[in-house]
Amino acid sequence: MRKLYYDMLRIRLVEEKLAEWYQTDLIKAPVHLSIGQEAVAVGVMAALRPEDKIVSTHRCHGHYLAKGGDLKRMMAEILGKATGCCQGKGGTMHLFDDKAGHVISIPLVAASIAFAVGLALSFKMQGENKIAVAFFGDGAVEEGIFWESLNFASVHHLPVLFVCENNLYATHSPILRRQPSSEIVSRIKPHNVYCQRLEDANNVLEVRRISQALVEITRQNQPCFLEACTYRLREHWGPGEDWHLGYRTREEGEYWVAKCPFKQLRQVFDQEGIPQSEINAMERLINEEIDAAVKFAIESPPPSREELLSEVGG
Amino acid sequence: MARDDRQLTYKEAAAEALLQAMEKDEKVFLMGEGVDNITGVYGQVLPAYKKFGPSRVIDTPISENGLTGLAIGAALDGMRPILIHQRNDFMLLAMDQMMNQAANLRYASGGHHQVPLTILSFVARRPGEGVQHSHSLQSVFAHFPGIKVGMPASTVDAKGMLLSAIFDDDPVIILEHRHNPLYDKKEYVPEEYYETPFTANVVVSGQNITIVTISIALVNALEACGELNSKGIHPEVIDLRWLRPFDINPIIRSVKKTGRLMVVDTGWKICSISSEIIAQVCEYAYNYLKCPPRRITLPDAPCPASQFLEPYYHPTTEMIIKTIRETMV
C-alpha cells in the first residue's frame, strides 16, 4: 500500500517538475501530462510481474515510471539529450525502457494496441508465460485498428490485457459526441473478451484488485479488457489547467478532484494509522531522485549533428 | 545436381525462399489472408504450410493495418514475421503501420528498436482486375526513409531477394509481379540458401543507351534488345531490383558510358521512381547526356478493367523499341 502511494507520488512530482520546466525555456515539446490519472498506471502495474510487457501512448510518463522506467533517461529524452532513452530522437511521446518491460510508446492513436497483440502472439508462440498490456484512451476505441486488434486477440486466444483509460475527452471532444455511450465495455463483450468497468479508477486499491483478477485470467490466454474511468486535470498537452476553454465544466472537474487518488489512499492510511511523516519522507526521497535526474538531464550533452542521419535503416 | 534439373518458376523460387527461411530460423513465421489454402496466394505458401502447419503459417482475419501492427509487435519481441497481402493495392490500408510505425521505430528509439518485418505482396496485373486489384504502387512505398522496397524481376532474384528481406534487421517490402511471362518463367535456381545483395543489377552490357527497368519491365527490355541488336543498337540494361536502398551508382556509371538514358517502370510517372532516377542522373551526370532522358510508364490514369482497353495501358516491348529508335536518331 505504501508502495502504491510512493509510485503515484513519484509520477505526480515528476510531472509537476515538467510543468515547472514549461515556465522556463527548457522544453521544446508538447508534453502530455497524466496528472489526475496516476492510479490507473500504478494499480495495473502492481498486478504485473516484472517480465510482463506494456505498450503506451503519447500520455506515457505515468506508465513508464510505474513500470520501473529509468527517470534520468526519461528526463534527458524530454530535453532532447543524447542520454535520453531514445537518444533524443523519439521525445516525450516515444518513451520506452526495455529492461523495465515498457516496450514502446506511440502517439499515433491506437497504433500501439496492435503491438501488444503481436507481443502476446510472440509470447504464446515461444511458450513464454508472459502477458502484454496495452494502455490507451477512450478515443482509441474509435480507431479501426483497435477492433482489428481485439478481434485477433480473441480469435487466437492471446494473453493480452487491454486497459482503456476513459477520461471522457479525446483532446477537447467529449465522448458522447464521438461514441454512442460513455460506457465502453458493453461494446467489447461480444468479442468474447472478458471485461470489467471500474467507475472510479482513481481508487488505486480497487484498480490493483481488479487488475490482479484480470491478469490471472489473461495469463490463461483469455484476453481481458479493463475500462478504467479517470480524469485528466491538466490541458491535453502543456502544463496548465484549461477550464477557460469551455469544453468541460469546472463542476465536472471538481467531482474528480474529490476523487483524487492521493486523497482516497490517505484516508485508508489514516484508518491504518500510517502517519503523515511517512508521506513526507516519501516526498523527500522522490525529490532527491528528481533533483538528481534533473541535474543529469540538464548536464547531459545534446546529440551530435551526425545523429541526424544515423539509425535510419532502410 | 545438373542445372537442367533445377528449373523452377518465379513462384516456385519464392515458395522455396519462404520454406528455407522457416527451416533456417524458428523465429520466422508467416501470416496472411488465406495463406493456408490452395487458392490463397496462388499456392505460393503451400510448401511452408505443409511443413510447418497453422501455428507458424497463420490464416488471418481481413485486417491489413492491424496485422501489420501485430507483426511489428512480434518483431519487437525478436520474431521475424512475414506478412502477405494478396495484392499490393490492399497495402494502402496499412500505410500507418508500415510508414508511421515500422519505418520510423528504429530511428525514434535511437537505434534500439529493430523491426525485422517482411511484407510480401503482388502486382496482380491481369485483364479485368481493374482499378483496385492491379496497380503497381512501389513508388508510394519507396518514398519513406526506414523501409526497404524490392521488386524481383527474375526467378533467381525471386528467391534471393525474399531471403535478403526476411533476414534483414529492418522492415522490407517485396513486391512480386504476377504477370506472365515472368510469374511462370522457368530458370535455373540454386538449391542452397543465398541472398541477393541490395544493389542494382547490370543484366546486359552495352554502349549505346542505358535502359533502367523496374520489375517485369526487365523482361520487355531484354526482348527489345534482341530486335535492337540486329539493328546495330546495343543497350545496357540495368534491373534496379531495389527502390530502397536506391543504388544509383551503376546507373551513373552506365550513363557516363552511353550518354543516353531510358527508364521503364510499371508504375505512374509523376512523383515516381522513374522521376527520381532521371533527376539524379541530371544531378550527377548532366554533362554526359547527349539527349533528354526518356521514360516509359503507365499513362496518367487508373487501370481499366476492360480487356479491350487494358492492353493499351502497360509498357510493351514495342514501346521500348520505338522510343529507343527515336532516341538514337
What cell was used for A225?
A: 479488457
Last residue of a domain, one of B139, B165, B188: B188
Q: B193 lies in a domain?
A: no
Domain identity same for B205 and B161: no
CA distance B280 to B215: 20
Is the CB of residue A293 less than 8 Å away from at least one CB of chain B? no
A98 to chain B: which residues are within 8 Å by CB? Answer: 112
Mean pLDDT, chain B, integer: 95
Domain identity same for B177 and B313: no
Burial A119-134 (b: 16+ CB within 10 A, else e): bbbbbbbeeeebbbbb
- The residue assigned the cell 487508373 is B302
Domain identity same for B323 and B280: yes
The answer for residues whose C-beta is within 8 angstroms of residue A97's C-beta and 6 or more apart is A64, A67, A68, A69, A70, A73, A85
pLDDT score at B169: 98
Q: B247 lies in a domain?
A: yes
Per the CB < 8 Å rule, is A152 touching B146?
A: no
Q: B195 lies in a domain?
A: no
CATH number for the domain harbouring residue B159? 3.40.50.970
pLDDT score at A147: 98
> Beta-strand (E) ranges in B45-171?
57-59, 80-84, 118-123, 148-150
Last residue of a domain, one of B166, B188, B210: B188
Q: How remote is the C-alpha of A36 from its chain's centroid?
A: 11
- The residue assigned the cell 528504429 is B106
B98 to chain A: which residues are within 8 Å by CB? Answer: none
Q: Residue B102 carries which DSSP code?
A: I
Is the CB of residue B140 less than 8 Å away from at least one CB of chain A? no
Task: Please tell me whether residue B184 adopts helix, strand or coil conformation.
Answer: coil
CA distance B259 to B268: 25
B55 to chain A: which residues are within 8 Å by CB? Answer: 125
pLDDT score at A314: 79
Q: What is the pLDDT of residues B83-131, one digit of tens each?
A: 999 999 999 999 999 999 999 999 999 999 999 999 999 998 888 888 9
Pairing outcome for strands B242-244 and A224-229? unpaired
CA distance A205 to A40: 10
Q: Which of A96, A120, A149 sits opposite B66 (nearest CB)?
A: A149
Residue B274 sits in which domain range? 201-327
Asked, as a colleague might, if the bond just before B302 is cis with ω within 30 of 0, I would say no
pLDDT score at A178: 95
What cell was used for B295?
A: 521514360
Closest CA relative to residue A4, chosen from A52, A55, A38: A38
Domain identity same for B271 and B160: no
CA distance A210 to A215: 9
Confidence band of B2 (pLDDT split at 50, 70, 90):
low
CA distance B118 to A143: 25
Domain identity same for B175 and B50: yes
B61 to chain A, closest Cα gap in Å: 7
Q: B93 lies in a domain?
A: yes
> Beta-strand (E) ranges in B78-206?
80-84, 118-123, 148-150, 172-177, 186-188, 201-204
What cell was used for B79?
A: 520474431
Residues of B marked as catalytic? 64, 133
Report the Cα–Cα distance between both ends of chain A, in Å, rounded: 48
What cell was used for B136?
A: 503497381
Cα distances (angstroms) measured from residue A238 to each of A14, A59, A83: 14, 11, 23
Is the CB of residue B147 less than 8 Å away from at least one CB of chain A? yes
CA distance A162 to A147: 11
Per the CB < 8 Å rule, is B69 touching A94?
A: no
Closest alpha carbon within chain A to B78? A122
CA distance B147 to B102: 7
Residue spans of chain A under pLDDT 50? none
Domain identity same for B223 and B153: no
- The residue assigned the cell 518463367 is B185
Is the CB of residue B90 less than 8 Å away from at least one CB of chain A? no
What cell was used for B105?
A: 521505430
pLDDT mean over B62-70 = 97
pLDDT score at B36: 85
B234 to chain A, closest Cα gap in Å: 34
Residue B318 has pLDDT above 90, yes or no: yes
Domain identity same for B63 and B184: yes
Domain identity same for B181 and B213: no
The residue type found at B142 is A
What cell was used for B233?
A: 543498337
Rg (CA), chain B: 20
Domain identity same for B184 and B222: no
pLDDT score at A28: 85
Percent of chain B's residues with pLDDT above 90 = 88
CA distance B155 to A268: 71
Burial B254-283 (b: 16+ CB within 10 A, else e): bbeebbbbbbbbbbbbeebbbbbbbeebee
CA distance A81 to A74: 10
Burial (CB count within 10 angstroms: exposed 0-12, middle 13-18, buried 19+), residue A68: middle
Per the CB < 8 Å rule, is B75 touching A118?
A: yes
Q: Which one of A102, A143, A152, A310 makes the best mutation probe of the B interface by having the most chain B beta carbons within 10 Å?
A: A152
Q: Which one of B68, B79, B107 makes the best mutation probe of the A interface by having the most chain A beta carbons within 10 Å?
A: B107
Q: B28 lies in a domain?
A: yes
The superfamily CATH assigns to domain A2-305 is Thiamin diphosphate (ThDP)-binding fold, Pyr/PP domains (3.40.50.970)
Per the CB < 8 Å rule, is B100 touching A103?
A: no
What cell was used for A72?
A: 534520468
Q: B45 lies in a domain?
A: yes
Is the CB of residue A117 less than 8 Å away from at least one CB of chain B? yes
B110 to chain A, closest Cα gap in Å: 5
Domain identity same for B218 and B169: no
Last residue of a domain, one of B167, B188, B209: B188
Closest CA relative to residue B216, chosen from B317, B326, B133: B317
Handedness of CA B295, B296, B297, B300 (dihedral sign): positive
Domain count, chain B: 2
pLDDT score at B260: 98
Is the CB of residue B307 less than 8 Å away from at least one CB of chain A? no
pLDDT score at B187: 93
Cα distances (angstroms) measured from residue B105 to each of A2, B80, B230: 37, 16, 52
Q: B258 lies in a domain?
A: yes
Is the CB of residue A285 less than 8 Å away from at least one CB of chain B? no
Domain residue spans in chain A? Answer: 2-305
Is the CB of residue A197 less than 8 Å away from at least one CB of chain B? no
CATH number for the domain harbouring residue B313? 3.40.50.920
Burial (CB count within 10 angstroms: exposed 0-12, middle 13-18, buried 19+), residue A274: middle
Confidence band of B181 (pLDDT split at 50, 70, 90):
confident
Confidence band of B4 (pLDDT split at 50, 70, 90):
low
Q: How remote is the C-alpha of B237 from its chain's centroid?
A: 16
pLDDT score at A174: 94
Predicted ipTM of the assembly: 0.95
Is the CB of residue A36 less than 8 Å away from at least one CB of chain B? no
- The residue assigned the cell 488465406 is B34
Domain identity same for B178 and B224: no
Q: Which of A117, A120, A311 sits opposite B111 (nearest CB)?
A: A311
The answer for residues whose C-beta is within 8 angstroms of residue A253's C-beta and 6 or more apart is A231, A233, A243
CA distance A112 to B72: 9
CA distance B329 to A107: 57
Is the CB of residue B328 less than 8 Å away from at least one CB of chain A? no
Cα distances (angstroms) measured from residue B171 to each of A156, B150, B174, B197: 25, 11, 10, 16
The answer for residues whose C-beta is within 8 angstroms of residue B312's C-beta and 6 or more apart is none
Q: Which of B101, B110, B145 sits opposite A89 (nearest CB)?
A: B110
| Greatest C-alpha distance within chain B | 61
CB A55 within 8 A of CB A69: no
Q: Counting one residue from A and one from B, how many pairs have CB atoms under 8 Å apart?
A: 148
CB A96 within 8 A of CB A85: yes
Domain identity same for B296 and B242: yes
pLDDT score at B3: 62
CA distance A177 to A247: 12
CA distance A265 to B231: 90
B171 to chain A: which residues are within 8 Å by CB? Answer: 313-314
| Greatest C-alpha distance within chain A | 59
Closest CA relative to residue B193, chosen from B175, B169, B167: B167
